[in-house]
Structure 1
Amino acid sequence: MADESDLFKGAMGALGDVKPLPREKQQASLKKAVDSNLNLRARREAATAQTARELNPLGGEFVDPVDPRDPIEFKRDGVQNGVYRNLRLGKYQVDARLDLHNHTVEMARSVLYQFVRDCMEADVRCALVTHGKGEGRKQPAVLKSCLNAWLPQLSEVLAFHSAQKQHGGLGATYILLRKSERKRQQNWEQHSRRL
């Protein structure tokens, strides 16, 4: 039985114009480019940024500014008006709270995304996020404006509205979250037993 390298050499020789490289050119140069550290760092930063976008879908570098004295509100199609009214009036029990005071925009983005995920894991239906009004600042209501832009991007958020005075007023927001799959299954089993 012929060796595979001999078969290969025979096939290449049969083509006629194929010649082996001289021995000194058979080795590739493994010298690193002078700017390889810069390239490596740039590739790492790009990969980290891409991973961060994949892990946290909250985007929007530019958000529409909200006046510190204006309420923020949002309701997805399918949310009943009575449910939304109860949220707006603060009638639901707040099961989780997040305070974003003293957070940068990037920190707030990350913390908010993780907070919503944690709420879903813990079957929280109504949460309160305190962000402040941002009055008297060079750029007023930055976090409030960001929340107004970010929350509709999360499919888990069914609705949100600025809080009642006793919960922080215009410096806080109620968030209504969808039921987790576990809660949906429990409700289905509970209601199917009645029938």
Structure 2
Amino acid sequence: MAMTDEELFLASMGDVTPLAKTNQIELAQIKRSPTIAQLEKRRAAQQEIDFDANFLSTEYVDLVDPHDLLAYKKSGVQEGVYKNLRLGKYQIDATLDLHGKTFHQARSALFEFVLDCQQRNIRVLLVRHGIGLKSKPFPAILKSYINKWLQEMPQVLAFHSALNCHGGSAATYVLLKKSDEKKLENRELHAKR
């Protein structure tokens, strides 16, 4: 008579004794270094944390001459307002000095400065960037990027090179939009009753 599978199993296991509870085997955890895929996931997660909200361009820029005047006005800005800015008739509420800063430091500083000033309801700024006669690889590279960056920022209504008493073509007056809080305050103040 042929044996069933269960009978065969029991016959072959007849001389095996179960382990006692005191004979438990502890498995040591083996510490392994992370795989390339894990390292890549960590790097991607860190990049999300370090995300730079600064949208100012680092691409090609039209170079300006070191002695050129910078001038820009968005449509809708009144000529009288722009003229007063150009002639330095507004009180300068905040100043940013970019002398000696690297390209990336200047980009970051300008971006944060403009955002901070608008949040604090500061409207007129002076940005000191220098004329860049000795800048490398081209003269006035930082001044050229300041010209481009200020035009890229939606908070900026207008800007113009400063008067000689404030730095001349090595500095720029900047006029910012009113903050939402100031706009509401102005509407309430001038509301027709």
Instruction: Give the shorter-chain TM-score range.
Output: 0.7 to 0.9
Q: Note if contact 2:135-2:141 (Cα within 8 Å) is conserved in structure 1.
A: no
CA distance in 1, matches of 2:35, 2:187: 64
Q: Note if contact 1:67-1:141 (Cα within 8 Å) is conserved in structure 2.
A: yes
**Matched residue, 1:95:** 93
**Matched residue, 1:14:** none
**Matched residue, 2:20:** none
CA distance in 2, matches of 1:61, 1:41: 28
Q: Residue by residue, what CA displacement relative to the aligned partner does 1:26-82 show, whole Å, maximum 9, x if unpaired?
A: xxxxx9885346634753575467x21xx1111232211111010111100000111
- Letter of the 1:43 counterpart: A
Structure 2, unaligned runs of 5 or more: 1-31
- Letter of the 1:74 counterpart: Y
How far is the alpha carbon of 1:182 from its aligned partner? Answer: 1.1
**Matched residue, 2:74:** 76
**Matched residue, 1:159:** 158
Q: Note if contact 2:123-2:176 (Cα within 8 Å) is conserved in structure 1.
A: yes
- Letter of the 2:155 counterpart: E
Identify if the C-alpha distance between structure 1 residues 38 and 91 changes in structure 2 by more than 3 Å, giving closer, same or farther: same
- Letter of the 2:153 counterpart: L
Equivalent position SS for 1:184: helix
Structure with the larger helix share: 1
CA distance in 2, matches of 1:158, 1:122: 16
Identify if the C-alpha distance between structure 1 residues 103 and 185 changes in structure 2 by more than 3 Å, giving closer, same or farther: same
**Matched residue, 1:28:** none
Counting matched residue pairs gives 161
1:15-54 paired onto structure 2 within 5 Å: 35-36=36-37, 39-40=40-41, 43=44, 47=48, 51-52=51-52
Match of 1:137 among 119, 135, 138: 135
CA distance in 1, matches of 2:107, 2:169: 19
Alpha carbon RMSD of aligned pairs, Å?
2.1
Q: TM-score under structure 1 normalisation?
A: 0.75
CA distance in 1, matches of 2:56, 2:123: 20
Report the identity percentage.
48
CA distance in 1, matches of 2:162, 2:108: 22
Q: Note if contact 2:73-2:159 (Cα within 8 Å) is conserved in structure 1.
A: yes
